[in-house]
Protein backbone atom coordinates (compact mmCIF):
# COMPACT_ATOMS: atom_id res chain seq x y z
CA UNK A 1 0.00 0.00 0.00
CA UNK A 2 1.45 3.36 -1.03
CA UNK A 3 0.99 6.19 1.41
CA UNK A 4 -0.42 9.28 -0.27
CA UNK A 5 0.41 12.54 1.44
CA UNK A 6 -1.17 15.88 0.63
CA UNK A 7 1.22 18.41 -0.87
CA UNK A 8 0.36 20.91 1.88
CA UNK A 9 1.66 18.49 4.53
CA UNK A 10 4.92 18.01 2.62
CA UNK A 11 5.36 21.78 2.31
CA UNK A 12 4.61 22.22 6.02
CA UNK A 13 7.14 19.54 6.97
CA UNK A 14 9.75 21.11 4.71
CA UNK A 15 9.24 24.52 6.33
CA UNK A 16 9.47 22.92 9.76
CA UNK A 17 12.78 21.30 8.84
CA UNK A 18 14.16 24.59 7.51
CA UNK A 19 12.99 26.46 10.62
CA UNK A 20 14.48 23.88 12.99
CA UNK A 21 17.74 23.79 11.08
CA UNK A 22 18.06 27.56 11.41
CA UNK A 23 17.55 27.28 15.20
CA UNK A 24 19.49 24.06 15.81
CA UNK A 25 21.27 25.40 18.91
CA UNK A 26 18.23 24.71 21.06
CA UNK A 27 17.57 21.12 22.15
CA UNK A 28 13.80 21.34 21.65
CA UNK A 29 14.22 22.36 18.04
CA UNK A 30 16.69 19.50 17.52
CA UNK A 31 14.17 16.93 18.74
CA UNK A 32 11.51 18.59 16.62
CA UNK A 33 13.85 18.52 13.64
CA UNK A 34 14.43 14.77 14.03
CA UNK A 35 10.70 14.15 14.26
CA UNK A 36 10.04 16.29 11.20
CA UNK A 37 12.78 14.53 9.23
CA UNK A 38 11.34 11.12 10.15
CA UNK A 39 7.82 12.21 9.12
CA UNK A 40 9.17 13.58 5.86
CA UNK A 41 11.01 10.31 5.14
CA UNK A 42 7.88 8.28 5.82
CA UNK A 43 5.79 10.62 3.66
CA UNK A 44 8.23 10.19 0.75
CA UNK A 45 8.62 6.45 1.27
CA UNK A 46 12.30 6.68 2.15
CA UNK A 47 13.95 4.21 4.50
CA UNK A 48 15.76 5.70 7.51
CA UNK A 49 19.50 5.04 7.78
CA UNK A 50 19.04 3.02 11.00
CA UNK A 51 16.74 0.60 9.20
CA UNK A 52 19.24 0.21 6.35
CA UNK A 53 22.07 -0.54 8.79
CA UNK A 54 19.95 -3.14 10.62
CA UNK A 55 18.98 -4.68 7.28
CA UNK A 56 22.62 -4.92 6.15
CA UNK A 57 23.64 -6.47 9.49
CA UNK A 58 20.87 -9.09 9.20
CA UNK A 59 22.01 -9.85 5.63
CA UNK A 60 25.61 -10.40 6.75
CA UNK A 61 24.45 -12.70 9.55
CA UNK A 62 22.51 -14.76 6.99
CA UNK A 63 25.49 -14.96 4.62
CA UNK A 64 23.81 -12.73 2.04
CA UNK A 65 25.60 -10.00 0.08
CA UNK A 66 23.77 -6.75 -0.60
CA UNK A 67 24.14 -6.05 -4.33
CA UNK A 68 24.46 -2.37 -5.24
CA UNK A 69 25.20 -0.37 -8.35
CA UNK A 70 28.79 0.05 -7.15
CA UNK A 71 29.59 -3.63 -6.61
CA UNK A 72 27.35 -5.71 -8.87
CA UNK A 73 29.58 -5.91 -11.96
CA UNK A 74 32.56 -7.03 -9.91
CA UNK A 75 30.69 -9.47 -7.66
CA UNK A 76 28.42 -11.15 -10.17
CA UNK A 77 31.23 -12.24 -12.49
CA UNK A 78 32.47 -14.66 -9.84
CA UNK A 79 30.62 -17.96 -9.40
CA UNK A 80 26.92 -18.78 -9.34
CA UNK A 81 24.48 -16.48 -7.57
CA UNK A 82 20.92 -16.64 -6.28
CA UNK A 83 19.67 -13.07 -5.98
CA UNK A 84 16.38 -11.93 -4.53
CA UNK A 85 15.04 -8.66 -5.92
CA UNK A 86 12.64 -7.38 -3.28
CA UNK A 87 10.63 -4.26 -2.54
CA UNK A 88 7.89 -2.98 -0.28
CA UNK A 89 5.14 -5.22 -1.64
CA UNK A 90 3.20 -7.73 0.48
CA UNK A 91 5.05 -10.79 -0.90
CA UNK A 92 8.62 -9.56 -0.37
CA UNK A 93 8.81 -10.26 3.40
CA UNK A 94 7.86 -13.91 2.81
CA UNK A 95 10.45 -14.21 0.05
CA UNK A 96 13.09 -12.51 2.22
CA UNK A 97 12.48 -15.11 4.92
CA UNK A 98 12.63 -17.94 2.37
CA UNK A 99 15.87 -16.55 0.90
CA UNK A 100 17.43 -16.21 4.37
CA UNK A 101 16.51 -19.76 5.38
CA UNK A 102 17.84 -21.20 2.13
CA UNK A 103 21.11 -19.23 2.33
CA UNK A 104 21.76 -20.38 5.91
CA UNK A 105 21.03 -24.00 5.00
CA UNK A 106 23.23 -23.86 1.89
CA UNK A 107 26.17 -22.66 4.00
CA UNK A 108 25.85 -25.78 6.14
CA UNK A 109 25.74 -27.96 3.00
CA UNK A 110 28.64 -26.11 1.30
CA UNK A 111 26.87 -25.83 -2.04
CA UNK A 112 29.22 -23.17 -3.39
CA UNK A 113 26.33 -20.88 -4.30
CA UNK A 114 26.51 -17.22 -3.40
CA UNK A 115 23.42 -15.40 -2.14
CA UNK A 116 22.61 -11.77 -2.80
CA UNK A 117 19.82 -9.26 -2.51
CA UNK A 118 18.79 -6.21 -4.49
CA UNK A 119 16.33 -3.69 -3.08
CA UNK A 120 14.14 -2.64 -6.01
CA UNK A 121 13.50 0.79 -4.47
CA UNK A 122 17.06 1.59 -3.37
CA UNK A 123 18.85 0.13 -6.42
CA UNK A 124 16.73 1.24 -9.35
CA UNK A 125 19.70 1.10 -11.73
CA UNK A 126 20.01 -2.69 -11.38
CA UNK A 127 16.29 -3.40 -11.46
CA UNK A 128 15.84 -1.23 -14.57
CA UNK A 129 18.83 -2.85 -16.24
CA UNK A 130 17.24 -6.26 -15.63
CA UNK A 131 13.80 -4.92 -16.62
CA UNK A 132 12.26 -5.87 -13.27
CA UNK A 133 9.49 -3.56 -12.18
CA UNK A 134 7.43 -5.67 -9.75
CA UNK A 135 9.11 -7.49 -6.89
CA UNK A 136 9.81 -10.08 -5.67
CA UNK A 137 11.88 -11.93 -8.24
CA UNK A 138 14.60 -14.55 -7.97
CA UNK A 139 17.52 -14.10 -10.36
CA UNK A 140 20.01 -16.90 -10.98
CA UNK A 141 23.33 -15.71 -12.40
CA UNK A 142 26.09 -17.90 -13.80
CA UNK A 143 28.76 -17.98 -16.52
CA UNK A 144 30.65 -14.90 -15.31
CA UNK A 145 27.47 -12.83 -15.20
CA UNK A 146 26.47 -13.59 -18.81
CA UNK A 147 23.65 -16.03 -18.05
CA UNK A 148 20.69 -14.60 -16.17
CA UNK A 149 17.61 -16.66 -15.37
CA UNK A 150 14.49 -15.20 -13.75
CA UNK A 151 11.93 -16.90 -11.55
CA UNK A 152 8.76 -14.99 -10.75
CA UNK A 153 6.74 -15.44 -7.53
CA UNK A 154 4.01 -17.16 -9.56
CA UNK A 155 6.34 -20.12 -10.09
CA UNK A 156 7.69 -20.70 -6.60
CA UNK A 157 6.05 -20.98 -3.21
CA UNK A 158 7.95 -18.94 -0.60
CA UNK A 159 9.37 -21.82 1.44
CA UNK A 160 13.11 -22.08 2.19
CA UNK A 161 13.13 -25.87 1.79
CA UNK A 162 11.78 -25.67 -1.75
CA UNK A 163 14.25 -23.00 -2.79
CA UNK A 164 17.13 -24.94 -1.24
CA UNK A 165 16.07 -28.09 -3.07
CA UNK A 166 15.72 -26.09 -6.30
CA UNK A 167 19.27 -24.77 -5.89
CA UNK A 168 20.79 -27.99 -4.57
CA UNK A 169 19.51 -30.08 -7.49
CA UNK A 170 20.48 -27.29 -9.90
CA UNK A 171 16.94 -27.18 -11.27
CA UNK A 172 17.39 -23.47 -11.84
CA UNK A 173 19.59 -24.36 -14.82
CA UNK A 174 16.42 -25.61 -16.56
CA UNK A 175 15.06 -22.04 -16.61
CA UNK A 176 15.55 -20.21 -19.91
CA UNK A 177 18.53 -17.88 -20.13
CA UNK A 178 17.59 -14.25 -20.69
CA UNK A 179 18.41 -13.64 -24.30
CA UNK A 180 17.36 -10.23 -25.59
CA UNK A 181 18.78 -6.94 -26.77
CA UNK A 182 18.70 -5.75 -23.17
CA UNK A 183 20.46 -8.80 -21.71
CA UNK A 184 24.14 -8.95 -20.72
CA UNK A 185 25.26 -9.84 -24.25
CA UNK A 186 22.68 -7.64 -26.00
CA UNK A 187 23.38 -4.54 -28.05
CA UNK A 188 21.67 -2.12 -25.64
Beta strands in 6-123 (DSSP E): 64-66, 80-86, 113-119
If asked whether residues 149 and 129 sit together in one domain, one would say yes
Inform me whether the pLDDT recorded for 170 exceeds 90: yes
If asked whether residues 101 and 131 sit together in one domain, one would say yes
Crossing angle between the packed helical segments 7-22 and 27-44, to the nearest 10 degrees: 150
Q: What is the DSSP string of 134-188?
A: SS-EEEEEETTTTEEEEE-GGGS-S-HHHHHHHHHTTGGGGSPP--STTSTTS--
pLDDT of residue 28: 53
Residue 169 lies in a domain: yes
Greater model confidence, 187 or 59: 59
Judge if pTM exceeds 0.75. Answer: no
Domains contained in the chain, number: 2
If asked whether residues 77 and 170 sit together in one domain, one would say yes
Structural domain containing residue 58: 50-174
- Reported as a pLDDT band with limits 50, 70 and 90, residue 92 is very high
Among 62, 176, 178, which Cα is nearest to 117's?
Answer: 62
For residue range 153-163, list pLDDT tens digits in order. 888 888 778 89
Residue 28 lies in a domain: yes
If asked whether residues 76 and 19 sit together in one domain, one would say no
Give ∠ CA 94-103-74 in degrees, rounded to 5. Answer: 110
For residue range 113-147, list pLDDT tens digits in order. 999 999 998 898 999 999 999 999 999 999 999 99
Contact yes or no for 86/98 (Cβ under 8 A) = no
For residue range 16-41, list pLDDT tens digits in order. 565 555 554 455 556 666 666 666 56
Amino acid sequence: MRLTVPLSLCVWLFHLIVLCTAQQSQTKSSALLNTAKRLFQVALGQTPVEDLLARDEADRAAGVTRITRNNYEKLLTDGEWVILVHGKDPLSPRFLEMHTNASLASQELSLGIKWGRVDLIEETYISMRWLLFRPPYLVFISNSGHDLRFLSPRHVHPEGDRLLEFVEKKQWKDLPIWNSRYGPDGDR
